[in-house]
Amino acid sequence: MSEPRLAVIGAGPAGLAATLAAAARGVHVTLVDSAAEAGGQFYRQPAPGLGARRPQALHHQWRTWERLRDGLRTHVRAGAVRHLTDHHVWFVERPDTGGFTVHALVGPGQEEAAEVRADAVLLATGGYEKVLPFPGWTLPGVVTAGGAQAMLKGGLVLPGRTAVVAGTGPLLLPVATGLAAAGARVAALVDSADPASFLRRSRALAGRPDKVAEGARYAGQLLRHRVRTLLRHTVVEALGTERLEAVTIAALDRDGRVRPDTRRRLDCDTLAVSHGMLPHTDLADALGCRLDGTDVHVDAEQRTDVPGLWAAGETTGIGGSALSLAEGHIAGRSIAARLAGRTPDPHEWTAAARTREKLRSFFAAVDSGYALPAHRAEQVTDETVVCRCEEVSAGAVREAVRELGAGDLRTVKLLTRAGMGWCQGRVCGPGVAEVAGCAETPGRRPFARPVPLGVLARAGETAGPARAAAPEEPQDDAHRDQ
């Protein structure tokens, strides 16, 4: 019998850890990733053409990366792992003949199609940032915090000279220190979190002294670069006409309302902003996986409820790179055992499971500490664009709720076109929910990427009858009127 085949989608910490664990146990792995280099978001590498001799200057935990990178190289050289770069997966199919077919678009232009057959699939597609709307957030110069970090790590560029880093969440720390180290003046780190809420959670936080030390290291770096940290503050407005010129910040009171008397202007040409992260769940959703809220549901072995399909890392819930590594490792070992027809013994991964438990509860505590101000939506004026692609204003969303009785995201979308543009609601979903005052639900998208119609037609011919539901509408049509 030939070697069992695994397709891992995503070459971030989770996908890499799983690839190494499975390949070391005799599984043939095809690692599929849209980026030109392995590493994912945390270990994003500068393009080789840039000739960076000290990329680690932009990174944390470089030693871990070296281990992952060298392990991957060794397996690729030995023929145990095939690494497909620049492959954008738009759909994973379960043909009636069994196994999986992974459909990807190849190259930066994403025009050619490629298919990978596998006996098992691991989804390790990570997450992306959530940014909620506020006046001026569409001005050039306003970027997501992770986006600024990605451009810095991957392209060795800065968006401007003077930055404000704002929003809420643990990602603001590496971004502020990263920008400062690379030569930007960071005028302030503005976080709406209340320091008191962290004190109340100190027990859970103390469970991970290494993480607390990491926080202290960041604090030291902020001090060294003279970055002011303003807690319980928020950016009320981004100012400028053609591009960002300044932001208005203000303090929040105990109830999370802006204190008007504290408003002040900070000049800056860059605002790096983030209100948390969301998991990528499109591929899982299209396969019919159960989701818990916004996260792909997995069991103790990282299995989804679709047979043969595993998920690890931030697709299953946001929790940082160390948690992604632990989950990936467990998934890789579980897959190797299951593909060999064995029930794995969880004792094989006791250490990783312990890390997973601790980090999950650590992040649950951190997450609740970083809660958004209760009255944030009050800052979103009627004129504020909430859906960036379709340019739908907060006023239009409010009208749909108030005058037309829309009570859920789907109805708001149908009435206003919010979420119908290029990004398919990935960016505006949380903001529309906030303004409309309805629950944030994961968007249902037939495909994870826009697909040219020609590719779609040919995929149907080669892949045989599909078990997954046929798409309702070709994505290309939805995008053509852009």
Partner 1 sequence: MNPLELARAEPGPAFTVTLDGREIEALPGQTVAAALWTAGVTSWRSTRGEGRPRGIFCGIGVCFDCLVTVNDRPNQRACLLPLRPGDAIRTQEGTGRHE
Return the number of the residue (75 or 280) whose C-beta is nearest partner 1.
Answer: 280
Residue 208's region, left for phi above 0, alpha for psi from -120 to 50, else beta, is beta
- Other CB atoms within 10 Å distance of the CB of residue 327: 32
427-446 burial, b at 16+ Cβ within 10 Å, e below that, comes to bbbbbbbbbbebebebbebb
Name which position in 19, 42, 91, 160 contacts ligand FAD (CB under 6 A). Answer: 42
Name which position in 26, 66, 73, 140 contacts partner 1 (CB under 8 A). Answer: 140
Q: Which does 446 bind (CB under 5 to 8 A by kind): partner 1, ligand FAD, none?
A: none
Contact at 8 Å (CB) between 273 and 144? yes
Cα gap 19→122, rounded to integer Å: 9
Return the number of the residue (9 or 336) whose C-beta is nearest ligand FAD.
Answer: 9
205-243 burial, b at 16+ Cβ within 10 Å, e below that, comes to beebeebeebbeebeebbeeeebebbbbbbbbbbbbeee
> Three-state SS for 90?
strand
Q: Residue 132: which of 384, 449, 405, 401 has the closest Cα?
A: 384
Interacting span for partner 1 (CB under 8 A) from 308-316, 322-330, 365-373, 415-423: 415-423
List residues bridging with 187 in a β-sheet.
Answer: none
Return the number of the residue (80 or 172) whose C-beta is nearest partner 1.
Answer: 172
What does the per-residue mask of binding to ligand FAD show for 324-353, with x meaning CB under 6 A? x-----------------------------
Q: Tell me the residue ranges of DSSP E strands in 107-227.
A: 112-118, 120-123, 127-129, 142-144, 162-167, 185-191
> Does residue 477 bind partner 1 (CB under 8 A)?
no
Q: Dihedral of CA 188/212/175/171: which sign?
A: negative
Q: Tell me the residue ranges of DSSP E strands in 130-242.
A: 142-144, 162-167, 185-191, 229-231, 233-239
CB of 178 to ligand FAD, least distance (A): 7
> How many chain residues interact with ligand FAD (CB under 6 A)?
36
Please list every residue from 64 through 93 that binds ligand FAD, using CB under 6 A. Answer: 87-89
Name which position in 41, 168, 192, 424 contacts ligand FAD (CB under 6 A). Answer: 41
Return the number of the residue (284 or 352) whose C-beta is nearest partner 1.
Answer: 284
> Does residue 169 bind ligand FAD (CB under 6 A)?
no
> Does residue 308 bind ligand FAD (CB under 6 A)?
no
CB of 78 to partner 1, least distance (A): 28
Helix (H) / strand (E) containing 399:
helix 394-402
Please list every residue from 135 through 164 that binds ligand FAD, using CB under 6 A. Answer: 146-147, 149-150
> Does residue 54 bind partner 1 (CB under 8 A)?
yes
> Does residue 383 bind partner 1 (CB under 8 A)?
no
Q: Which does 243 bind (CB under 5 to 8 A by kind): ligand FAD, partner 1, none?
A: partner 1
Cα gap 335→121, rounded to integer Å: 9
Return the number of the residue (71 or 430) whose C-beta is nearest partner 1.
Answer: 430
Return the number of the residue (143 or 250) whose C-beta is nearest ligand FAD.
Answer: 143
Name which position in 26, 155, 454, 464 contacts partner 1 (CB under 8 A). Answer: 155
Cα gap 392→398, rounded to integer Å: 11
Cα gap 395→377, rounded to integer Å: 12
Please list every residue from 167 through 186 that binds partner 1, using CB under 8 A. Answer: 181-183
Q: How many C-alpha atoms does 426 have within 13 Å on its Cβ side?
A: 17
Contact at 8 Å (CB) between 435 and 441? no
Contact at 8 Å (CB) between 261 and 69? no
Tell me the angle at which helices 172-181 and 145-155 cross, rounded to the nearest 10 degrees: 40
Return the number of the residue (126 or 136) whose C-beta is nearest ligand FAD.
Answer: 126
Name which position in 24, 76, 114, 150 contacts partner 1 (CB under 8 A). Answer: 150
Binding residues for partner 1, rule: CB under 8 A, are 34, 36, 41, 46-55, 57-58, 108-109, 128-129, 131, 138-144, 146-152, 154-160, 181-183, 242-243, 388-391, 421-423, 426-427, 479, 481-482
Give residues in contact with ligand FAD (CB under 6 A): 9-15, 32-35, 40-42, 87-89, 124-129, 146-147, 149-150, 171, 174, 280, 313-314, 320-321, 324, 448
